[in-house]
Amino acid sequence: MSRPRPIRRLLVCNRGEIARRIIAAADGLGIETVAVYAEGDAGAPFVSEAGQAVALPGRRAAETYLDAAALLGAARRTGCDAVHPGYGFLSESAEFAGAVRAAGMVFIGPPTSAIAALGDKLAAKAEMRAAGVPVLDPIPLGDGDGVSPGAYPVMVKASAGGGGKGMRVVEHPSGLAEALAAARREAGSAFGDERVFLEPYLADARHVEVQIFGDSHGSLVHLFERECSIQRRHQKVIEEAPSPAVTPELRQRLGDAALRVGRAVGYESAGTVEFLLDRAGRFYFLEVNTRLQVEHRVTEAVTGVDLVRQQLLVAEGAPLSFRQGDLSISGHAIEARLYAEDPAEDFLPQAGEIVQFVRGEVPGVRYDAGVESGSVVGVEFDPMLAKVIAHGGTRREAAGRLARALERTRVHGLPTNREHLVAILRHEAFLAGETTTHFLADHEIPARARPREEDLRLGLVAAALSAEQAGRASARVLASIPSGWRTSAMPPQLRRYRHEGRGWSVAYRRRRDGSYEARVAPEGGEESEHRVVRHGGTPEAPDLAVDGLRRRLALARAGRRLYLDLDGGGTLELDEVADEPLPADDRPEGGLAAPMPGRVVSVHVAAGERVEPGSLLVVVEAMKMEHRVRAAAAGVVGELRVKPGDQVSGGDLLVVLAPADAAGED
């Protein structure tokens, strides 16, 4: 069948990973794309990946991605004939969909009437009840926003939108007023609609949803179910397809109920019918998300259907290319949402620059990421960095692949939930399929991986020798000579670090056979000795055997902060300690050493000069950064061992200070 209205240019009214996802699908169909972006998103990857981009003046959602007039203006300015809303923001706004269509453009989504009918969740419940779909009856609010004491616990829910916004569980009447106020504020900010309602809260249930898809020719199918029970504050964390709790018979009943929902409103395009499933196998209609879901990728993985591509084709007028009988489930898929948040601080959202973002390469795993190395995470929008999706022949295989990919993912510069996700995926209760909406409350899941002490010591050795390797690579003279090489015996080179507030020192010396001897000691702790063999590698990916054990290592730097990834052992964050003296048994009293290999840029004192605590003595340039060596206490310069232009190794003596009283000072 010919397409009655091919789309030529598409406005993508969203940001982050979903904007990139839509742009890629449009490119695959030969459709030009236009992005819109808030001020804080000017450097985001999705902006440069679109053919054109229009700046929206403002930083907050209300000024940008929720401003329908600004979005329509961008579409007209760039000659777009279609608009894709993605998810969130205005994706479920019947007013926006109607305005797009009234402007003569194609809205990628269901009919405006279907969005309106299902967007009011209270009205939708009544319509679904009439269609024979089981529902949780809403609880009416009395005068003064009160309900019967026997109704608790209750769930406060936003009437518009979704994604966990505007939702609160209330266990006792004393908490209702505050929960209502907070939910109204959150819903108003996220969706521009402050209306909320109450429904019974089922504490020990599963969140199961069914993907439906329809075209304008009367075809409507379901693409089976997803389970999204692993949630925090009603925000989904882990999603999977199919659900481990759904039998073939229950799958049929869920699919039939979802299709009744869609047929009741003449549904077209992609949509999701959400249910609560109790332990007895009873399910209850919650709502319909009249848009693409964040977790649509797991359905794509098990069915082989590209949902965004189908959205675009159906919007052009094409019929669905498959029927219900053509669809089947292949294997299992699991998705994890990688967030910029600090698990150690009650998952507080984080903002800042991503120093490094590297995907973990594992077969059967894909990434939908909204960021890259150097991206800045702002405070204005959801802090999700990426979705990581694994597909395998079995559920356990998919979980293992996803955990492995996350373990190998390198994301540094601000805290994330990466290690927490790994802990969930490797938890026996999760692997056994014991997933309810209370999973995270019922199980103690570590916020982050705690490194073993042997891993920490290995990491410290790797950090020290990587810094040495980087210093030799940047040396301007005698670069071929190994660091620390001397014609006579010399003290070992030294580097100091701090890990979680504790100081550590690494003293190392190159041996004649090319290996190293290294001593690692914590403040107030026991020193350990190690034999280290370098097998090549780079400062960023050192290949070392420490006491005969080789581990996959990766290192990133942000100023004096080091991020060291040990495959399977989590991430070590180390801070280089500069301006520290050599140990007493290896240096003259009062000796100050070079903090790392580099070049002396300037010397700010002379022999015999008195200095005060904090006085600048020497500046060493290393790895494109200047490191200032300062006096730790008052004294007099007894020896000056370097001059500007000298190349130094980490631990080399720079200045020897004599105590002020020893120099005859009062």
For residues 291 and 263, membership in a common domain is answered with yes
- Helices assigned H by DSSP within 416-452: 418-425, 428-431, 439-442
Neighbours of 233 (CB within 10 A): 12
Contact 23, 12 (CB under 8 A): yes
Neighbours of 275 (CB within 10 A): 25
- Beta bridge partners, 600, equal 620
CATH of the domain at 588: 2.40.50.100
Lowest mean pLDDT among 113-127, 447-461, 527-541, 643-657: 643-657
Q: Where are the beta strands (DSSP E) in 393-501?
A: 410-412, 493-499
Q: Average pLDDT for residues 117-128, to the nearest whole number? A: 86
For residues 207 and 321, membership in a common domain is answered with yes
pLDDT at residue 77 tops 70: yes
Inside any domain, residue 665: no
Inside any domain, residue 273: yes
CATH of the domain at 32: 3.40.50.20
For residues 418 and 388, membership in a common domain is answered with yes
pLDDT at residue 258 tops 70: yes
Query: Whole-number mean pLDDT of the chain?
Result: 89
For residues 592 and 564, membership in a common domain is answered with no
Reading the block at residue 522, the tokens are: 């914590």
Mark which of 402, 422, 449 sits at the end of a domain: 449
H or E segment and range at residue 300 = helix 296-303
Which residues, in sequence order, are CB contacts of 480 under 8 Å at separation 6+? none
Inside any domain, residue 113: no
Amino acid at 211: Q
Mark which of 288, 304, 328 sits at the end of a domain: 328
For residues 411 and 340, membership in a common domain is answered with yes
CATH of the domain at 296: 3.30.470.20
Reading the block at residue 367, the tokens are: 């990434």
Inside any domain, residue 286: yes
364 burial class (0-12, 13-18, 19+ CB within 10 angstroms)? middle
For residues 231 and 186, membership in a common domain is answered with no
**Which has more pLDDT, 473 or 83?**
83
What is the span of the domain harbouring residue 288? 203-328
For residues 430 and 457, membership in a common domain is answered with no
For residues 220 and 191, membership in a common domain is answered with no
Rounded Cα–Cα distance for residues 92 and 121 (Å): 12
For residues 466 and 481, membership in a common domain is answered with yes
Lowest mean pLDDT among 188-192, 302-306, 430-434, 615-619: 188-192
For residues 358 and 436, membership in a common domain is answered with yes
pLDDT of residue 179: 85
- Beta bridge partners, 498, equal 503, 575
CATH of the domain at 169: 3.30.1490.20
Inside any domain, residue 535: yes
pLDDT of residue 200: 83
Inside any domain, residue 4: no
Mark which of 449, 483, 512 sits at the end of a domain: 449
Neighbours of 27 (CB within 10 A): 14
Express each pLDDT in 28-59 by its tens digit: 999 999 999 999 999 999 999 999 999 999 99
Reading the block at residue 457, the tokens are: 């010591």
Inside any domain, residue 294: yes
**Which has more pLDDT, 394 or 151?**
394
Q: What are phi and psi of 124, to 5 degrees?
A: -65, -40
pLDDT at residue 1 tops 50: no
Q: Residue 149: is the preceding peptide bond cis (ω within 30°)?
A: no
Express each pLDDT in 7-36 by its tens digit: 999 999 999 999 999 999 999 999 999 999
For the chain, first and last CA: distance in Å?
99
pTM, rounded to two decimals: 0.81
- Beta bridge partners, 199, equal 155
Contact 299, 271 (CB under 8 A): no
For residues 318 and 219, membership in a common domain is answered with yes
For residues 643 and 630, membership in a common domain is answered with yes
Contact 542, 469 (CB under 8 A): yes
Q: Please, what sign has the CA dihedral across residues 561, 574, 509, 543?
A: negative
Inside any domain, residue 276: yes
User: Could you tell me the pLDDT band of residue 583, with boundaries at 50, 70 and 90?
Assistant: very low
Rounded Cα–Cα distance for residues 506 and 174 (Å): 57
Reading the block at residue 665, the tokens are: 């000072």
Rounded Cα–Cα distance for residues 503 and 509 (Å): 20
Quote the number of domains for the chain: 6
For 550, 602, 639, 643, the CA distances from 607, given in Å and listed in that order, are 46, 15, 6, 12
